[in-house]
C-alpha cells in the first residue's frame, strides 16, 4: 500500500482519571471507505474529535499523508483537508441551500456576494453527490433530513477534502435515504476521497465500507477487509470476552401484570411497542442509538404525545395521560439526562426528594421544613446516600448519589412502577453496583421496573427479561437466560440469523 | 404576488382619492368642525375644559361641532403633535389647543395655519406669532395670590418649599414665578427647596413629595404645589409623616374631588382655583368669533380664585369647585 | 419556475403587504373617512409619522435577524436628539452635528455589541441596562430640560412645507426611503448581510464555518445604534427641540414593526421591506383610528391586537406550509 491518507498509532487520551483512548492504531488508505465500529463508550467519539481538531491526543502519532498532523481547531483541520460531518447537523435553517453550502466561503466581489459564482460552486459540490437538480434557492428548513444531510456534506466538499469523517450519518435517515447516501459515498470514493464511516449499524457498515476497525474500551482490537469478516466475528470483537460481572440475581416470584403497552407509537418514535411488566420484575430495553428506547419511556410517562395504541396501568386502559396523571397512578420516571431534566441542582437534597409530593411536609400550604428534613433524612439513610445532610445542595453530590436522589424522589412519591432511563450513565463503577443493588431491592419490594440502557452488560446483569428495539419497533422480548451480548447486538443491529452460528 | 400586492394598494388609494374631498361643498352649510386638544385626558381639570367647549357647542344650536382628543400622557409631545396633524388632515375649521410644550408645538400650529386652519391657544403659552388668541388663567397672578396667602398663614416667617411641576410647561412656570415674586415681600420666609419637580402623574408627584419630605419634613412650615396632582401627592405624603392637618401649611393649585376633600378636612389650607370650564368655553367662542371675521383680543384672562375652608360654599365659588359637568358632557 | 422564484424572494414581505392592504381597506369602508383619509396630504402625514419608527426599524431588523434584541433604541433616540440639540445650541455647523449625532448613536451600539460579544451576556439584559443609562445620560445632558436651539437647517428635515398636498415630502421621508433601499441591498446581497442571517439562524454553524461571530455582532449593534441616532436626529427635527423624555417606549414600537414585518425573535428571518411595511401599518392604524375619532386608548388596544394577530397569522402560514 502507498502512503496512508491518515495514520494513527498508539493514540492515548484521558479525561481526568478516565482513559478514553488507551492505544488506538488506525490506517485510512486513499480513496477507501473505512468503517469505525464500537459499542457506546468504546472511544469512537473521542477519536473523531481528535481527528476533527476538537481534541488533541495526549500521546501517539497522527499523520496525514505522511506528515505530522496536530490541528489546533476545527478550522485548521478543515484547511488541512479533513472534513467532519457531525451527527447533529450544523446548518442555518433559514438560509437557502446555496448559502449554506458556501457559508463562510462566499465568493465575493467588492463585499457583495457573487451570486452567479456561488450558485455554480454549490451546484458543483452537490453534483458530486448526485444532487445537481436540488433547488438551490430553497430555505434549508423546508428540506427533508436526508436532503439537509446532503447539504451538509456538500459544504464539506467545497473545500475539496482529502478525508471525510461521517459520524452516525444514518441515525435519523430512512432506509431509502440511507441507500441514497451510500450512492453518494461511492461517488466520493471514485473521486479519490477517503471516508471514515462511524456507525452502530453493522449491516450498513458491511454494505458501504471496504475495511473496518473495531474499538473496544479505548483500544483498537481488530482491523481488516470487510469482505473477509463475518457479522458474528464483528459482534464478538465489539463485545469482547463476555463477563458476568454482576449476576447476583435472587429469584423472585413474578406478580400480577401492572403495566402493559399495546402497540403504542409516538410522533416519530416509537413506531410500535407492545410489552407487559409484572410486579417484582425488572424488564430491560436494549437497542442502538435512535432505536427509540428513551422515546418509549417518555411516551409511557406522558412527556411525549401518544399517537397510537394504548396503555394499561394497574388494570385500567387509557390512551395517554399527563406526567401528573401518571404520577398519581404511581408511575415514576427518571430521565437519562438527570442534570437537565431531573434534578434542581441548586436546590437542596430535601427539596429535590420531596418536590413531587410536598403535602406530607406542609401545613396549610406552608412548607414545614423540619417535616421535610425528616422525610429526606429517611430516604438518605434508606438509599445510603452520602450527603452531608438534607440541606446540602444536590450539585455538590457525586453522580451516583445524584441518581439515588432522583430515584429516591419516586420512592417518596410511592411510585411502584419505575421507568428508568440510563440510570448509570456517567456514574463510576463502584456507585453503579450500589444503584444495581438498589434496583434489585426495589423489585423485591414488589415494584415493577422498566429499564432502558445502552450498556449491555448492565442489562444482562440485572434484568429478568430483556426486550430489544430496532428502528422504533420492539423486535424481541425474551427471558435474560436466552440472551448474551452478541445476540443482543445482533438483534439490535438487525441481522438475527447469522448470530445463531455462535 | 409582488405586483398584485402593490396593485391592490395603489387601487385602494386611488379609489379613496377618487371620492369627493370636500363634503362641505355640497348640500346645506355644514357645521363648523372645531378640534379641542387638551394636554391630557385623565385630569378632572380637562373634563371641565371639555364641558366648557361642549357648552359652547350646545349654545350654538348645531352650528359648531366639537371634537375632543388628547394624548394619553401629559408629557408625550410627539403624540400631541400627531393629534394636531390628524385634525389638520381632517380639515377641521379651527383648533383650540392646550400645548404641552411652548416650543415643540410651534411648528404644527404654524403648519396648520398654512393649511388655513387657525389655532386658539388655551391654558399654556406657545412661543409663536401664528396664534389667534391666548385664552388662559393669569397664572402669574395665581402664583402671587398663593404666595401672599401662604406667607400670611405662616405669620410672615419660617421655611417654605416650592414643588415645581415640569420643565417646559409655561403655565406652571408662571405660577412658580408668581409665587417666588410674592415671597420677595416677605424677607423672613426662607425657601429651603425650589428645584424639585412633581412630574406628569399623581404617582411621580407622590414620589417626589415623599423624597422632599424625607429630607425637609421636620423643618418645613409651608408648601406650595403648582398643580392638582402635586397637591394631592404632597397631602398624602404629609399625612404619612404625621404633619398634615395644618402643622404644615399647604397651598395648592386647581381643585379636584380629592383636593377639595383634603381642603374640607383641613389637610390643605388653600387652593388657587382656575375656571377651566370658562377656559374651554371662551376658547371655542373666541375661535368661532375669529372664523366669523370678528375681532378678538390677543389675551383673554379667565380668572383665578382663592378657595379656603371658609368660602368653599359661597355661591360664586361653588360652581368653580363643582362645575356642572353633567349638564354639558355626554 | 421563474415565477416561483420571484414569488419566493418576495414571500417574506407578502404577509405584511397583505396586512397593510387590509388595514387600508378597513379605513376605506366609511365613506366620510375615505374622503379625508385617502388624500395626498394625509399620505404625506402618515409617511412623515412613520419615518422615525421606520428608520429605527432598519437597525432593529439587523439586530433581530442576528438573533438579538435592542431595548435601548428609544432611549438612544432621546439621547441623540438631545445631543443634536445641544450641539446646535453650541453653534456647531449642522453637517458636523449630523456626523457627531450619528457617531454618538453608533458609539452606544458599539458598547452594547462589545459587552454582548465579549462579555457573553444576553442582549436583553445588556440593552435593558443601556436603556436606563442612555435615558439618564439624555436627562443629564439636557439638564433635565428640553434643549431648544435657534431655528436652523436641521429643522427642515421633518418640516411638512405644503401641508395640503403630497409633494414636496419632507427630506426625512426621502432619507428614510433611501436608507431602507440601501439596507435592503446590504441584507440580501452583501456578505455581511448574509452572515447576519447565518448568525441568527444557527450561531454555532456560523462559527464552525469561520464567520467571525463576535466582530460581526459588534458591527451589528453599532450599525443599529447608527440608525437609532438617525431616528434621534429626525425626532429632534420633528419636535424642533431635544427632549430627554421623548420616545418613551419607542423601542417596543420599533420591535413591533419589525415583528409585524415578518421577523422572528428567534433570529434568522426578517426583511427590511417587511419591517418598513410593519412601521407603515402601525402609522396607518394610528392615523386612521385617530381620524375615526376613536379615543387614544382604543388605538392602543387595536395596535396591540394587530401585533398579536399579525404574528399569529404568520405562524399559521408557516405551520401550513409545513415546518
ipTM of the assembly? 0.80
A38: pLDDT confidence band, cut at 50, 70 and 90? confident
Cell readout for B183 is 415671597
Contact C262, C97 (CB under 8 A): no
* Host domain of residue C199: 41-308
Helix (H, G, I), strand (E, B) or coil at C311: helix
Cell readout for A345 is 441542582
How, if at all, do strands A417-421 and A331-334 pair?
parallel
Distance CA B301, CA A288 (A): 91
Average pLDDT, chain A: 83
Helix (H, G, I), strand (E, B) or coil at A494: coil
Q: What is the pLDDT of residue C317?
A: 66
Task: Say yes or no for a CB contact (<8 Å) between A142 and C192.
Answer: no
Contact A258, A279 (CB under 8 A): yes
Task: Give how far C205 is from chain A: nearest CA, Å.
Answer: 5
pLDDT in tens, A227-279: 888 877 887 787 765 444 455 555 667 788 889 999 988 888 888 899 989 99
Q: What is the pLDDT of residue B1?
A: 42
Q: What is the pLDDT of residue C103?
A: 97
- Residue of A143, A205, A133, A211 whose CA lies nearest to A169: A205
Ranges of residues in chain C with a pLDDT under 70 are: 1-12, 317-323
Looking at the domain assignment, is residue C17 inside a domain?
Answer: no
A94 interaction partners in chain C (CB closer than 8 Å): 197, 200-201, 268-269
- Where residue C109 sits, what CATH number does that domain have? 1.10.3470
Q: What is the pLDDT of residue C322?
A: 47
Does the pLDDT at position B27 exceed 80?
no
**B158 torsion bin: left (phi>0), alpha (psi -120 to 50), beta (else):** left
Q: What is the pLDDT of residue C1?
A: 45
Q: How many CB atoms lie within 10 A of CB A257?
A: 15
Q: What is the pLDDT of residue A254?
A: 75
More confident residue, A373 or C86: C86
Distance CA B87, CA A447 (A): 77
The total number of structural domains in chain C stands at 1
C202 interaction partners in chain A (CB closer than 8 Å): 90-93
Taking each helix axis as running N to C, give the angle between helix C250-260 and helix C272-291, from 0 to 180 degrees, rounded to the nearest 10.
120
Structural domains of chain A sorted by starting position, each given as residue range(s) with its CATH number in brackets: 6-239 (3.40.50.300), 263-501 (3.40.50.300)
Sheet holding B32-37, edge to edge: B64-68, B32-37, B94-97, B119-122, B133-136, B299-301
DSSP element (H, E) containing A317: strand A316-318
* Helix extents (H) in B19-115: 44-59, 77-89, 106-114
Looking at the domain assignment, is residue C31 inside a domain?
Answer: no
Does the pLDDT at position A34 exceed 90?
yes
Looking at the domain assignment, is residue C64 inside a domain?
Answer: yes
- Residue of C54, C72, C66 whose CA lies nearest to C275: C54
Q: Which residue has the cell 399527563?
A: A322
Contact A23, A12 (CB under 8 A): yes
Q: Which residue of C has its CA nearest to B111?
A: C163
Looking at the domain assignment, is residue C300 inside a domain?
Answer: yes
Looking at the domain assignment, is residue C14 inside a domain?
Answer: no
**DSSP secondary structure letters along A197-230:** EE-S-HHHHHHH-SEEEEEETTEEEEEEEGGG--
Cell readout for B103 is 416650543
- DSSP 8-state assignment for residue C39: S
Distance CA A285, CA A422 (A): 10
- Residue of C132, C101, C109, C59 whose CA lies nearest to C237: C101
Sheet holding B249-253, edge to edge: B189-197, B158-164, B222-225, B249-253, B270-274, B304-307
Centroid of chain to Cα B273: 12
Average pLDDT over residues B172-190: 87
* Helix extents (H) in B68-224: 77-89, 106-114, 139-153, 170-183, 202-216
C200 interaction partners in chain A (CB closer than 8 Å): 94
Centroid of chain to Cα A241: 23
Task: Say yes or no for a CB contact (<8 Å) between C201 and A106.
Answer: no
Task: Say yes or no for a CB contact (<8 Å) between C17 and B5.
Answer: yes
Distance CA A421, CA A407 (A): 11
Does the pLDDT at position A86 exceed 60?
yes
B10: pLDDT confidence band, cut at 50, 70 and 90? low
Which of B12, B21, B22 comes nearest C21 by C-beta? B12
Q: Which residue of C has its CA nearest to A73?
A: C208
Q: What is the pLDDT of residue C9?
A: 54
Listed in sequence order, the residues at least 6 apart from A120 whose beta carbon sits closer than 8 Å to its beta carbon are none
Q: What is the pLDDT of residue B284?
A: 93
Kindly compute the dihedral angle of the four CA atoms of residues C162, C164, C168, C171, in this order, to the nearest 10 degrees: 70
Distance CA A500, CA A231 (A): 11
Task: Say yes or no for a CB contact (<8 Å) between C35 and B12.
Answer: no
Cell readout for C196 is 447576519
Task: Give how far C230 is from chain A: nearest CA, Å.
Answer: 24
**DSSP tally for chain A: helices H, then strands E:** 16, 24
Centroid of chain to Cα C246: 15
Looking at the domain assignment, is residue C56 inside a domain?
Answer: yes
Q: Which residue has the cell 429626525?
A: C234
Distance CA A460, CA A477 (A): 13
Q: What is the pLDDT of residue C173?
A: 94
Please check whether residue A106 touches C, CB under 8 A.
yes
Residue A47, φ and ψ in degrees, nearest 5: -65, -45
Q: What is the pLDDT of residue A495?
A: 57
pLDDT in tens, B221-232: 888 998 888 888
Does the pLDDT at position A498 exceed 50?
no
A138 interaction partners in chain C (CB closer than 8 Å): 8
- Residues forming a β-bridge with A448: A417
b/e code A174-185 from CB counts within 10 Å (16+ = b): eeebbebbbebb
**DSSP secondary structure letters along A45-109:** HHHHHHHTTSS--SEEEEEETTEE---SSHHHHHHHTEEEE-SS----TTSBHHHHHTTT---EE
Looking at the domain assignment, is residue C27 inside a domain?
Answer: no
Q: What is the pLDDT of residue A41?
A: 66
Minimum mean pLDDT range among A216-225, A379-388, A475-484: A379-388
Q: Which of A63-72, B17-26, B37-46, B165-174 is the most confident on average?
A: A63-72
Which of C24, C34, C159 comes nearest B9 by C-beta? C24
Q: Which residue of B has its CA nearest to C248?
A: B76
Q: What is the pLDDT of residue B37?
A: 93
Task: Say yes or no for a CB contact (<8 Å) between B81 and C43.
Answer: no
Contact A222, A237 (CB under 8 A): yes
Does the pLDDT at position A499 exceed 80?
no
C25 interaction partners in chain B (CB closer than 8 Å): 12
Q: What is the pLDDT of residue B26?
A: 46
Q: Which residue of A has its CA nearest to C266?
A: A94
Cell readout for A494 is 438487525
Q: What is the pLDDT of residue A246?
A: 52
Helix (H, G, I), strand (E, B) or coil at B33: strand
Looking at the domain assignment, is residue C34 inside a domain?
Answer: no
Question: Interior CA angle at B191 toward B187 and B196, to 5°?
Answer: 155
pLDDT in tens, A307-335: 888 989 888 888 888 888 888 888 988 88
Structural domains of chain B sorted by starting position, each given as residue range(s) with its CATH number in brackets: 29-136+276-301 (3.40.50.2300), 139-274 (3.40.50.2300)
**DSSP secondary structure letters along C189-242:** HBHHHHHHHHHHH-HHHHHHTT--HHHHHHHHHHHHHHHHHHHHHHHHHHHTSB
Distance CA A305, CA A267 (A): 7
Residue B270, φ and ψ in degrees, nearest 5: -160, 150
Please check whether residue B81 touches C, CB under 8 A.
yes
Q: How many CB atoms lie within 10 A of CB A366?
A: 7
Distance CA C307, CA C314 (A): 11
pLDDT in tens, B271-328: 898 889 999 999 999 999 998 888 888 889 988 888 888 888 788 888 888 888 888 8
Does the pLDDT at position B119 exceed 90?
yes
Contact B287, B87 (CB under 8 A): no
Average pLDDT over residues A366-370: 78
Please check whether residue B86 touches C, CB under 8 A.
yes
Q: Which of A442-446, B108-112, B314-318, C41-45 is the most confident on average?
A: B108-112
Distance CA C306, CA C20 (A): 11
C261 interaction partners in chain B (CB closer than 8 Å): none
- Residue of B85, B128, B88, B123 whose CA lies nearest to B106: B128
**DSSP tally for chain C: helices H, then strands E:** 13, 0
Amino acid at each position: 500500500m502507498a502512503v496512508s491518507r491518515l495514520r494513527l498509532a498508539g493514540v492515548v487520551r484521558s479525561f481526568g482519571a478516565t482513559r478514553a483512548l488507551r492505544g488506538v492504531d488506525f490506517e485510512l488508505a486513499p480513496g477507501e471507505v473505512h468503517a469505525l465500529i464500537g459499542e457506546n463508550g468504546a472511544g469512537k467519539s473521542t477519536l473523531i474529535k481528535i481527528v476533527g481538531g476538537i481534541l488533541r491526543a495526549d500521546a501517539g502519532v497522527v499523520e496525514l499523508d505522511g506528515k505530522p498532523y496536530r490541528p489546533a481547531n476545527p478550522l485548521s483541520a478543515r484547511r488541512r483537508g479533513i472534513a467532519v460531518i457531525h451527527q447533529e447537523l450544523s446548518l442555518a435553517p433559514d438560509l437557502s441551500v446555496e448559502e449554506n453550502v458556501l457559508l463562510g466561503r462566499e465568493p465575493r466581489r467588492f463585499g457583495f456576494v457573487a451570486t452567479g459564482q456561488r450558485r455554480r460552486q454549490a451546484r458543483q459540490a452537490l453534483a458530486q453527490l448526485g444532487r445537481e437538480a436540488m433547488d438551490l434557492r430553497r430555505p434549508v428548513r423546508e428540506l427533508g433530513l436526508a436532503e439537509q444531510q446532503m447539504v451538509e456534506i456538500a459544504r464539506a466538499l467545497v473545500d475539496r477534502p482529502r478525508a471525510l469523517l461521517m459520524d452516525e450519518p444514518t441515525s435519523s435517515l430512512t432506509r431509502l435515504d440511507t441507500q441514497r447516501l451510500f450512492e453518494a459515498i461511492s461517488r466520493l470514493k471514485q473521486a479519490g476521497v477517503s471516508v471514515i464511516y462511524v456507525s452502530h449499524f453493522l449491516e450498513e457498515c458491511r454494505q458501504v465500507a471496504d475495511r473496518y476497525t473495531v474499538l473496544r474500551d479505548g483500544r483498537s482490537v481488530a482491523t481488516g477487509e470487510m469482505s473477509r469478516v463475518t457479522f458474528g466475528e464483528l459482534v464478538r470483537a465489539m463485545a469482547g470476552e463476555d463477563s458476568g460481572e454482576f449476576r447476583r440475581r435472587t429469584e423472585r416470584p413474578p406478580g400480577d401484570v401492572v403495566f402493559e403497552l399495546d402497540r403504542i407509537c409516538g410522533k416519530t418514535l416509537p413506531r410500535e411497542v407492545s410489552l407487559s411488566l409484572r410486579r417484582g420484575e425488572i424488564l430491560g430495553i436494549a437497542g442502538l442509538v435512535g432505536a427509540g428506547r428513551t422515546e418509549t419511556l417518555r411516551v409511557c410517562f406522558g412527556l411525549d404525545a401518544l399517537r397510537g395504541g394504548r396503555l394499561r396501568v394497574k388494570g385500567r386502559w387509557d390512551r395517554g395521560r399527563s406526567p401528573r396523571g401518571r404520577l398519581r397512578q404511581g408511575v415514576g420516571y427518571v430521565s437519562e439526562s438527570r442534570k437537565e431534566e431531573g434534578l434542581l441542582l441548586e436546590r437542596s437534597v430535601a427539596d429535590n426528594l420531596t418536590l413531587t409530593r410536598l403535602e406530607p411536609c406542609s401545613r396549610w400550604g406552608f412548607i414545614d421544613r423540619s417535616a421535610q428534613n425528616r422525610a429526606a433524612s429517611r430516604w438518605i439513610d434508606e438509599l445510603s446516600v452520602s450527603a452531608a445532610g438534607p440541606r446540602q445542595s444536590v450539585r455538590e453530590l457525586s453522580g451516583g448519589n445524584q441518581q439515588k436522589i432522583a430515584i429516591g424522589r419516586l420512592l417518596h412519591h410511592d411510585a411502584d412502577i419505575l421507568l428508568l432511563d440510563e440510570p448509570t450513565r456517567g456514574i463510576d463503577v463502584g456507585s453503579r453496583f450500589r444503584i444495581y443493588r438498589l434496583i434489585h431491592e426495589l423489585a423485591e419490594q414488589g415494584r415493577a421496573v422498566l429499564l432502558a440502557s445502552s450498556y449491555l452488560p448492565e442489562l444482562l446483569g440485572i434484568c429478568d427479561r430483556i426486550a430489544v428495539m430496532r428502528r422504533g419497533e420492539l423486535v424481541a422480548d425474551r427471558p435474560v437466560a436466552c440472551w448474551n451480548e452478541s445476540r443482543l447486538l445482533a438483534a439490535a443491529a438487525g441481522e438475527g440469523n447469522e448470530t445463531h452460528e455462535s | 404576488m409582488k405586483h398584485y400586492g402593490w396593485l391592490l394598494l395603489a387601487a385602494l388609494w386611488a379609489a379613496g382619492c377618487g371620492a369627493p374631498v370636500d363634503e362641505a361643498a355640497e348640500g346645506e352649510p355644514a357645521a363648523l368642525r372645531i378640534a379641542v386638544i387638551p394636554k391630557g385626558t385623565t385630569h378632572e381639570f380637562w373634563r371641565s375644559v371639555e364641558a366648557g367647549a361642549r357648552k359652547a357647542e350646545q349654545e350654538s344650536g348645531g352650528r359648531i361641532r366639537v371634537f375632543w382628543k388628547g394624548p394619553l400622557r401629559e408629557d408625550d409631545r410627539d403624540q400631541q403633535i400627531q393629534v394636531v396633524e390628524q385634525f389638520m388632515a381632517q380639515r377641521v375649521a379651527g383648533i383650540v389647543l392646550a400645548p404641552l410644550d411652548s416650543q415643540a408645538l410651534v411648528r404644527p400650529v404654524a403648519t396648520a395655519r398654512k393649511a388655513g386652519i387657525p389655532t386658539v391657544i388655551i391654558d399654556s403659552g406657545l412661543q409663536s406669532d401664528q396664534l389667534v388668541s391666548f385664552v388662559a388663567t393669569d397664572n402669574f397672578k395665581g402664583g402671587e395670590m398663593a404666595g401672599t396667602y401662604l406667607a400670611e398663614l405662616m405669620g410672615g416667617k419660617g421655611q417654605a418649599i416650592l414643588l415645581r411641576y415640569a420643565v417646559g410647561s409655561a403655565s406652571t412656570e408662571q405660577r412658580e414665578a408668581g409665587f417666588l415674586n410674592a415671597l420677595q415681600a416677605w424677607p423672613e420666609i426662607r425657601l429651603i427647596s425650589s428645584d424639585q419637580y412633581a412630574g406628569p402623574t399623581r404617582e411621580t408627584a407622590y414620589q417626589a413629595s415623599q423624597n422632599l419630605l424625607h429630607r425637609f419634613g421636620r423643618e418645613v412650615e409651608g408648601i406650595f404645589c403648582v398643580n392638582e396632582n402635586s397637591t394631592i401627592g404632597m397631602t398624602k405624603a404629609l399625612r404619612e409623616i404625621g404633619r398634615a392637618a395644618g402643622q404644615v401649611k399647604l397651598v395648592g393649585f386647581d381643585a379636584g374631588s380629592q383636593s377639595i376633600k383634603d381642603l374640607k378636612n383641613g389637610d390643605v389650607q388653600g387652593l388657587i382655583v382656575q375656571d377651566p370650564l370658562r377656559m374651554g368655553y371662551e376658547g371655542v367662542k373666541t375661535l368661532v368669533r375669529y372664523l366669523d371675521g370678528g375681532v378678538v383680543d390677543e389675551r383673554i384672562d379667565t380668572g383665578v380664585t382663592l378657595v379656603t375652608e371658609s368660602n368653599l360654599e359661597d355661591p360664586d365659588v361653588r360652581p368653580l369647585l363643582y362645575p356642572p359637568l353633567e349638564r354639558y358632557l355626554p | 419556475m421563474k415565477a416561483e422564484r420571484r414569488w419566493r424572494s418576495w414571500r417574506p414581505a407578502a404577509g405584511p403587504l397583505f396586512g397593510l392592504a387590509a388595514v387600508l381597506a378597513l379605513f376605506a369602508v366609511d365613506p366620510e373617512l375615505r374622503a379625508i383619509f385617502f388624500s395626498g396630504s394625509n399620505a404625506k402625514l402618515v409617511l412623515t409619522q412613520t419615518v422615525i419608527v421606520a428608520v429605527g426599524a432598519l437597525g432593529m431588523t439587523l439586530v433581530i435577524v442576528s438573533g438579538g434584541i435592542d431595548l435601548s433604541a428609544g432611549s438612544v433616540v432621546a439621547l441623540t436628539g438631545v445631543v443634536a440639540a445641544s450641539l446646535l445650541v453650541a453653534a456647531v455647523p449642522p453637517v458636523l452635528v449630523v456626523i457627531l449625532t450619528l457617531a454618538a448613536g453608533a458609539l452606544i451600539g458599539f458598547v452594547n455589541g462589545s459587552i454582548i460579544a465579549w462579555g457573553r451576556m444576553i442582549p436583553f439584559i445588556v440593552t435593558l441596562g443601556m436603556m436606563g443609562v442612555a435615558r439618564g445620560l439624555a436627562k443629564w445632558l439636557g439638564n433635565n430640560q428640553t434643549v431648544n436651539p435657534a431655528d436652523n437647517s436641521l429643522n427642515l428635515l421633518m418640516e411638512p412645507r405644503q401641508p395640503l398636498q403630497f409633494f414636496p415630502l419632507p427630506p426625512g421621508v426621502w432619507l428614510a426611503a433611501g436608507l431602507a433601499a440601501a439596507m435592503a441591498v446590504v441584507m440580501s446581497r452583501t456578505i455581511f448581510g448574509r452572515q447576519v442571517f447565518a448568525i441568527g439562524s444557527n450561531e454555532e454553524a456560523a462559527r464552525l464555518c469561520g464567520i467571525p461571530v463576535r466582530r460581526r455582532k459588534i458591527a451589528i449593534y453599532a450599525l443599529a445604534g447608527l440608525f437609532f441616532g438617525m431616528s434621534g436626529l429626525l425626532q429632534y427635527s420633528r419636535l424642533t427641540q431635544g427632549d430627554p423624555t421623548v420616545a418613551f417606549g419607542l423601542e417596543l414600537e420599533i420591535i413591533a414593526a419589525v415583528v409585524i414585518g415578518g421577523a422572528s425573535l428567534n433570529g434568522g428571518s426578517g426583511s427590511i421591506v417587511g419591517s418598513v411595511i410593519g412601521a407603515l401599518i402601525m402609522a396607518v392604524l394610528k392615523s386612521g383610528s385617530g381620524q375615526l375619532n376613536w379615543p387614544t386608548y382604543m388605538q392602543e388596544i387595536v395596535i396591540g391586537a394587530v401585533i398579536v394577530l399579525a404574528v399569529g397569522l404568520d405562524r399559521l402560514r408557516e405551520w401550513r406550509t409545513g415546518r
